[in-house]
Amino acid sequence: MNQLKFVGKVYLVGAGPGDPGLMTLKGKVLLEQADVVIYDALVSPNILTMINPNAEKINAGKRRGRHSLEQTQTTQLLIEKAKTYAVVVRLKGGDPFVFGRGGEEMEDLMQAGVPVEVVPGVTSGIAAPAYAGIPLTHRNYSSSVTFVTGHEATGKYRPEVNWEAIAHGSETIVIYMGVHNLHNIIKELTIAGCSPEKPIALIQWGTRSEQKELIGTLDNIVEQIEATGFEAPAIAVIGNVVNLHQILGNSLMDNG
């Protein structure tokens, strides 16, 4: 493999779930020093204000059915910018290595001979439930948690998530990007033995000022989504820990 000499370095930076207070100090410093920032659609506007005002800013965001740049284009853009700029930041919502395709990008950059470093971020699967008053583990409710994507890529290493194994293997299930496929996911979980009465919470725009929650059970949450027009982006939490939302969530709201 030919190794090319590059001027700069690419930093895969996790922007966290939205609340600017959850941005890491290291990530903030890199944004302030960046020569160019290539950012995703789910990075909050408040985080974007931290970017060096003289930096080039490029929106590479992907939302369902609306892609600013394809993944291969994004990676190639990072390679090209690293030939010119000293500090290239790839800014990703949440954590780059948790359903953020950061591992794929890092592999491609390393294969191209580009210096790269990952800067972890707070993932929405942990932060959004916390802001809704839902602890993912609790001695009286749950001693295990599974993180899983509800939206799988085509042509991947295996055809589908093993929902049966997840249903039996974990007391709390956190689903990323699952709103549009929730009907099928619930069907798989109930077939595997999950009770239709099992609590579920959907948390939209977690940790942001516009955060909303929809609370129900496996047998009525889809009906609630249709009735309210609830939309992505949202995290789903399934398990008895959701019942704590009534206690802890109200306390969080009371404390502002």
Residues marked active site are found at 40, 62, 177
C-alpha angle with apex 152: 98 to 229, nearest 5 degrees?
90
What are the distances in angstroms from CA 84 to CA 64, 104, 204, 217, 256?
32, 22, 38, 53, 46
SS3 132: coil
Q: Determine contact, residues 64/44, Cβ cutoff 8 Å.
A: no
Contact 135, 241 (CB under 8 A): yes
Tokens of 238: 């399934």
